[in-house]
């Protein structure tokens, strides 16, 4: 791949067909091609980490973690700052990889890079937070201290939809707090979610053995979750896969952080600004082809506004051009795979067969699925119950605030939501009644910030949070020490 006619970074000879574990090396699992969704053409070839590769990486990471935890915090801070500098320097190539490998439009690549930089720069501050406290001793005159120490080795199993961002969201706090990391990127995005991450930290001078990048499939993920040297597993992905990871990690009594799916609602109250609400609804439902855990999976609209809102949402959908994000000025690219396209198609077709009305979209061209609006959606329809992970906006009516809250909470998920109203106090009051880990007033429901605790309730996660000071809790553990009274 080239950018502006120059050979792209990193040089393919360094990493093609390899994994990153004590440098770039061959693996026992062979190699795998990376395919560009928009064209179906091969992009690259990466190594596949076999269980034996994971075992060696885990042992090496455990040894490296001792010295890394003992390093001066300023050393760890400097590594993150240099990684951020390297990301800025190579941002053009990084964006190109994100666009071609994950099928996001260039703006999605820019967002990921900016958000990843935010994770790195915010992570620096974690190293300066108070790590302990002096406790009241028993008996008086003795000394009692408690402080945080690194967890040890963190296994990271990452998704394909925001590969760079989600990698940095864990790596930045985990590394700056003194942990070593085994990173398993998704098999669909092993370059932007793995190879590039390794090279950024290589350039940043991260000590050898602290980070290992192990591309592979579910077998590689199971090996990471089960490895006896891994003390904590951080998983982002589907609820079904999260349960499987939790079972494996639970056998080793490991700390597990699960960031899973969502069936998120945008609630439009009777006094909302229709244009602003529809714009937020379209961005939340159609952005990056709806392939985000925080996408809007339900549009709950007061009956007095539902026709006007639906028409505005349809207009928003019609204004979004579809095509190859690398070669055309488009808003919507392809979905990530044929499997995902078939899932979206099934949910829409079954819902229409059950009585939902297709207002626009609903017919794909290969992996290109257009922004789709369904109204007359009722409970029990797949569009109401299932996480779609595609550019589909199911519109559901309500008649009162109590009914809106009840409909929004009618799901086992509990990740995020948004409430629109001309009265901020009214919207905030409704927001307080939603069973979600995150909620936003007069805004999109798809939001993320490095300084905010990100995570959900119910089957959207296990109650863990990453971001802000929550990362301090996540990637350290308490140690208590007492010293007797002198004499």
The CATH number of the domain holding residue 88 is 3.40.605.10
487 within domain boundaries: no
At residue 3, the pLDDT reads: 43
**What does DSSP assign to residue 461?**
B
271 within domain boundaries: yes
456 within domain boundaries: no
Quick: pLDDT tens for 197-252: 999 999 999 999 999 999 999 999 999 999 999 999 999 999 999 999 999 999 99
At residue 217, the pLDDT reads: 96
Q: In angstroms, rounded to a whole number, what is the distance separating the alpha carbons of residues 390 and 290?
A: 4
486 within domain boundaries: no
**SS3 helix, strand, coil % of the chain, rounded to 5?**
40, 20, 40
411 within domain boundaries: yes
Q: Looking at the structure, do residues 32 and 150 belong to the same domain, yes or no?
A: yes
Q: Looking at the structure, do residues 90 and 224 belong to the same domain, yes or no?
A: yes
Q: Looking at the structure, do residues 163 and 280 belong to the same domain, yes or no?
A: no
At residue 487, the pLDDT reads: 78
485 within domain boundaries: no
Name the domain count of the chain: 2
286 within domain boundaries: yes
- Confidence grade of residue 6 (pLDDT, cut at 50, 70, 90): very low
Question: Is the preceding omega at residue 139 within 30 degrees of 0, hence cis?
Answer: yes
Residue with tokens 């494996």: 248
- Confidence grade of residue 169 (pLDDT, cut at 50, 70, 90): very high
Overall residue count recorded for the chain in this entry:
487
What are the b/e assignments for 93-107, b being 16+ CB within 10 Å? bbbbbbbbbbbbbbe
Q: Looking at the structure, do residues 304 and 421 belong to the same domain, yes or no?
A: yes
Q: Looking at the structure, do residues 216 and 274 belong to the same domain, yes or no?
A: no
Catalytic residues: 259, 293
Joined tokens for residue 440: 């936003």
Q: In angstroms, rounded to a whole number, what is the distance separating the alpha carbons of residues 461 and 399?
A: 31
DSSP, residue by residue, 146-183: EEEEE-SEEEEE--SSSHHHHHHHHHHHHHHTT-EEEE
Q: In angstroms, rounded to a whole number, what is the distance separating the alpha carbons of residues 98 and 328?
A: 16
Average pLDDT over residues 430-439: 98
> What share of the chain in percent tops pLDDT 90?
97
Quick: pLDDT tens for 341-353: 999 999 999 999 9
Q: In angstroms, rounded to a whole number, what is the distance separating the alpha carbons of residues 302 and 308?
A: 10
> What share of the chain in percent tops pLDDT 70?
98
Q: Looking at the structure, do residues 351 and 318 belong to the same domain, yes or no?
A: yes
At residue 5, the pLDDT reads: 42
Q: Please report, for the domain that includes residue 311, its CATH number.
A: 3.40.309.10
Q: Looking at the structure, do residues 195 and 271 belong to the same domain, yes or no?
A: no
Top pLDDT among 138 and 118 is at 118
pTM equals 0.95
Quick: pLDDT tens for 258-294: 999 999 999 999 999 999 999 999 999 999 999 999 9
204 within domain boundaries: yes
At residue 390, the pLDDT reads: 97
Helix residue spans in 204-337 (DSSP H): 218-226, 239-251, 274-286, 306-318
Residue with tokens 């320097």: 89
**What does DSSP assign to residue 192?**
I
Name the residue range of residue 241's domain.
2-260+461-480
Q: Looking at the structure, do residues 473 and 399 belong to the same domain, yes or no?
A: no
Q: Looking at the structure, do residues 81 and 182 belong to the same domain, yes or no?
A: yes
Q: Is the pLDDT of residue 406 over 90?
A: yes
Q: Is the pLDDT of residue 144 over 90?
A: yes
Q: Looking at the structure, do residues 295 and 421 belong to the same domain, yes or no?
A: yes
Average pLDDT over residues 132-140: 94
Q: In angstroms, rounded to a whole number, what is the distance separating the alpha carbons of residues 103 and 333?
A: 6
Q: Looking at the structure, do residues 140 and 271 belong to the same domain, yes or no?
A: no
- Confidence grade of residue 328 (pLDDT, cut at 50, 70, 90): confident
At residue 262, the pLDDT reads: 97
Q: Looking at the structure, do residues 170 and 317 belong to the same domain, yes or no?
A: no
């Amino acid at each position: 791949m080239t950018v502006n006619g120059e050979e792209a970074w990193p040089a393919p000879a360094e990493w093609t067909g390899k994994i990153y574990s004590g440098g770039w090396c061959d693996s026992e699992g062979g190699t795998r091609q990376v395919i560009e969704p928009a064209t179906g053409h091969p992009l690259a070839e990466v190594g596949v980490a076999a269980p034996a590769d994971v075992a060696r990486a885990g042992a090496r990471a455990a040894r490296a973690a001792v010295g890394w935890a003992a390093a001066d915090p300023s050393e760890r801070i400097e590594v993150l700052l240099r990684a951020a500098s390297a990301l800025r320097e190579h941002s053009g190539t990084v964006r190109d990889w994100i666009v071609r490998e994950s099928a996001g439009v260039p703006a999605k690549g820019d967002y990921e890079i900016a958000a990843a930089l935010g994770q790195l720069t915010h992570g620096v501050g974690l190293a300066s937070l108070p790590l302990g406290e002096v406790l009241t001793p028993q008996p008086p005159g003795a000394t009692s201290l408690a402080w945080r120490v690194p967890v040890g080795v963190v296994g990271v199993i990452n998704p394909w939809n925001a590969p760079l961002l989600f990698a940095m969201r864990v790596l930045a706090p985990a590394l700056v707090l003194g942990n070593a990391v085994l990173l398993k990127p998704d098999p669909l995005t092993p370059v932007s979610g793995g190879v590039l991450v390794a090279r950024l930290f290589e350039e940043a001078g991260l000590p050898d053995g602290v980070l290992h990048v192990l591309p592979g499939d579910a077998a590689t993920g199971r090996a990471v979750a089960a490895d006896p040297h891994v003390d904590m597993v951080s998983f982002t992905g589907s609820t079904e896969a999260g349960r499987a990871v939790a079972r494996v990690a639970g056998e080793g009594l490991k700390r597990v952080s699960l960031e899973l799916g969502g069936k998120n609602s945008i609630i439009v109250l009777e006094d909302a600004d229709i244009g602003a609400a529809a714009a937020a609804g379209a961005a939340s439902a159609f952005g990056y082809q709806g392939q985000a855990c925080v996408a809007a999976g339900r549009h709950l609209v007061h009956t007095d506004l539902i026709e006007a809102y639906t028409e505005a949402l349809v207009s928003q959908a019609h204004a979004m051009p579809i095509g190859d994000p690398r070669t055309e000025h488009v808003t919507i690219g392809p979905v990530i795979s044929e499997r995902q396209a078939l899932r979206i198609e099934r949910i829409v077709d079954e819902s229409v067969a059950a009585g939902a009305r297709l207002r626009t979209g609903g017919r794909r061209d290969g992996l290109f699925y257009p922004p789709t609006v369904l109204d007359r959606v009722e409970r029990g329809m797949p569009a109401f119950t299932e996480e779609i992970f595609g550019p589909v906006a199911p519109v559901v009516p309500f008649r009162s605030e109590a009914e809106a809250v009840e409909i929004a909470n009618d799901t086992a998920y509990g990740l995020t939501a948004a409430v629109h109203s001309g009265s901020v106090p009214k919207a905030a009051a409704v927001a307080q009644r939603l069973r979600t880990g995150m909620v936003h007033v007069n805004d999109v429901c798809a939001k993320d910030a490095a300084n905010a605790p990100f995570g959900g309730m119910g089957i959207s996660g296990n109650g863990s949070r990453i971001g802000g000071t929550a990362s301090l809790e996540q990637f350290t553990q308490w140690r208590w020490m007492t010293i007797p009274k002198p004499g």
